[in-house]
Chains A and B, each alone.
Chain A
Amino acid sequence: MKSSVSSSPHQYHQRSTAQLMRLVCYATLPGFAAQLWFFGWGTLIQFLIAATVALVTEAAILECRKQDFEKALSDCSALLTALLLALCLPPLAEWWVTAIGAFFAIAIVKQLYGGLGFNLFNPAMAAYIALLVSFPVAMTSWLPPQELAARGYDLLDACYLIFTGYTAEGYSLNQVRNLADGYTMATPLDSVKTDLSQGFTYTEALTKQPFTDGLGIGWFWINLAYLCGGLFLLKMRAIKWHIPVSMLAAMAVIALILHLSNSDVYPSVMFHLLSGGTMLGAFFIATDPVSASTTDKGRLMYGALIGAWIIIIRTWGGYPDAIAFAVVLTNMAVPLIDYYTRPRTYGHSRSVKKVKKS
C-alpha cells in the first residue's frame, strides 16, 4: 500500500464559496415550495425583489470600494441573503419593505463591515429586525393558509398587491387576509401569545382556527420541509451538526421544563419546534459560517444560547417569533465564545495561560 504524504489541510472535498452558497439555496427549495403552497405566490415575488435589490446594492458598493464586483456577485452570497430575507417576510408585504430590507442587509450589515466574511451579524436577520422594528404592522401581516382564506389569490393578484397595495379587483391586503368568517388571522405563535395574554389557557388557545391537532396549519409542513432541507445539508456536509442539534435540544429541554411546570401557560415542545421559523432558523440561519462560532465546542454553546433565547423571547418577549433576535443577540457573543473555546494546539498543554500576578 502506498500512502502519500501531504501537508494540511487534508480535507480534499473542498467547495468554493459559490458552490456552498448554491447548495444552501437548493436546500431551501422544499421549504420554499411548502411556503408557496400554503401562503401563495407572494414569497416568490418577494424573493425576486430582494434578489434584484441585493445584487444591485452589492455591485454598486463594491464598485465604490473599487473591487471586482463580478467575482463577488458570482459567489451567490448576496443571493442567499436575499433568499433568507424573503422567506422570513410576510408574503404580501409591499415592495418597498423588501427593498429596504435587502438594501439594509447588504449595504449596512454586510458591506460596511467589510463585505463577505467580515460581517459581525447575520445580514438577513439584522435586516429582518430593522424591518420589524420600523414597520411593525406591515411585518406582522401574515396571511392565513390558503385553504382557510375567504378568497385565494393568484400570481397576478400577488403582483398587484405587492406593488400597489390592492388586487386587480381592488381588494386591500386586509380584505385578502380575511378568513371565511371575516376575521383576520394571526400566525399560530401570535395567536397563542395573544390568547395567553388575554387569560386563556394554552389548551383553549389551541382550539382556535389556525390549529389542527395542536400544531399550526401549514407551519407544521413548512417546518418539516425545512427539516428535510437541513438534513440534506448535513448529509452533504455543507453544515456541521453542532449548531442545529444543540439549538433544537436547548429549545426542547427548556420548553419541556416550562411545559411540565405549568402546561396551561407554556406551550408544548412540539409546538415550539414546529412553529414559526424554528427549522429554517436552526439549519439555514444559525449555521451561517461567517457570523456563527467557528470551533466545535463553541458551536454547541452558540446553538444552545440561540435556543434558549428563542424560548425566552417567545415566552416573555413582546414579539411573536424570536429567531432573528436570538441569532443577532448571540452573534454578539461569538467573539467571546470563540476566545474561550479555542481548540488546543497539538503539542501544547491544555491549561489556559493566565496572567502572572506579580
Chain B
Amino acid sequence: MSEYQALSHQGLWKNNAALVQLLGLCPLLAVTGTLINGLGLGLATTLVLIGSNTTVSLVRNLVPNEIRIPIFVMIIAAFVTIVQLLMNAFTFNLYLALGIFIPLIVTNCAIIGRAEAYASKNPVKYAAFDGLMMGIGFSAVLILLGALREVLGYGTLFAGAEFLFGDWARALHITLFETEHNFLLAILPPGAFIGLGLLIAVKNALDRRVEQLISKPQKVIERARVTTES
C-alpha cells in the first residue's frame, strides 16, 4: 500500500476523527441539526485542517520543540480566522446558523492532534493529503449525522441548501413527510449523542463482519482415509 492509500484508509475509515478517535465532538454534536449545517462545518474544518497541516509541515524544522504547541495553535487560529471571514463574506446565513462553532474550530482536538501527531513529522505533500483525508472523514460523519437528525426531526433533507450554494440550491430541498409535531429528541442534544452512538455501533459491526469474512476461508483438511485394505 502506498503512503497515499494508507493515509486515505486511516483518515476515512480506520482512524476516523469522529468515529474512532472521538475528537472534535463538541461541534460534531452541536451543529449537526441539519445536513447543511453539518456540511458547512465539515467544509470549514477540512479547509482549516489542510491549511494547518501544510503550514505546520512547512515550518516543522524551524519550530523549537519546547514551544511547538503554542505555535501550532496560532497557525490553526490564523486559518480559522480566514475561514470565518470567508464564510462571513460569502455564506452569511450559514455563518449565522453555525455561530460560535466556527471560531471554536480552533479548539477542535482533531486539528491540533493531526498537527502534532502527523504534520510535524512528515513532508508537506503527505501532511496536506492527510489533512484532506481526515477532513473528509470528519465531514462524512457530520453529514451523515446531520442527515439522520434532519430526517427524523424535521422530515426534510437539504433544508437551507441555498445558504451554502446560492439560490439555485432551493431546488435540492426534499420534504419526506410533513408533521405538526417535530421529533424534538432527534433535534435536541440527546439525539446527537444517540445518533453518534448508533453510527459508531454500525461501524464496529461492519468492521467485525469484514473481519469474519476475511478470516473465514479456513483450510478444510481432508483426512486421508486409512483402511485395512490399503
Contact = CB atoms under 8 A, between A and B. Distances in A.
A317 to B, nearest CB: 17
Nearest to B185: A134
B184 A133 contact: yes
B59 interface: no
Nearest to B194: A108
Interface residues of B, number: 10
B208 to A, nearest CB: 13
B101 interface: no
A112 B202 CA distance: 12
A137 interface: yes
A100 B179 CA distance: 14
Interface residues of A, number: 10
A130 interface: yes
B30 interface: no
Contacts of B118: none
A43 B201 CA distance: 36
A135 B188 contact: no
Contacts of B13: none
Contacts of A100: 183
A136 B187 CA distance: 14
A45 interface: no
Interface in A112-157: 112, 130, 133-138
A134 B194 contact: no
A112 B201 CA distance: 10
Contacts of B185: 130, 133-134
Contacts of A133: 184-185, 188, 190
B225 interface: no
Interface in B181-205: 181-186, 188, 190, 194, 201
B184 A135 contact: yes
A171 B229 CA distance: 91
B190 A135 contact: no
Interface of B: 181-186, 188, 190, 194, 201
21 contacts: A100-B183, A108-B194, A112-B201, A130-B185, A130-B190, A133-B184, A133-B185, A133-B188, A133-B190, A134-B181, A134-B182, A134-B183, A134-B184, A134-B185, A134-B186, A135-B181, A135-B183, A135-B184, A136-B184, A137-B181, A138-B181
Given A130-B185, A135-B184, 5 more contacts: A100-B183, A112-B201, A133-B185, A134-B181, A134-B184
Q: Which 9 A/B pairs are nearest by Cβ-Cβ distance?
A: A134-B185, A134-B184, A135-B181, A130-B185, A134-B183, A133-B185, A133-B184, A138-B181, A133-B188
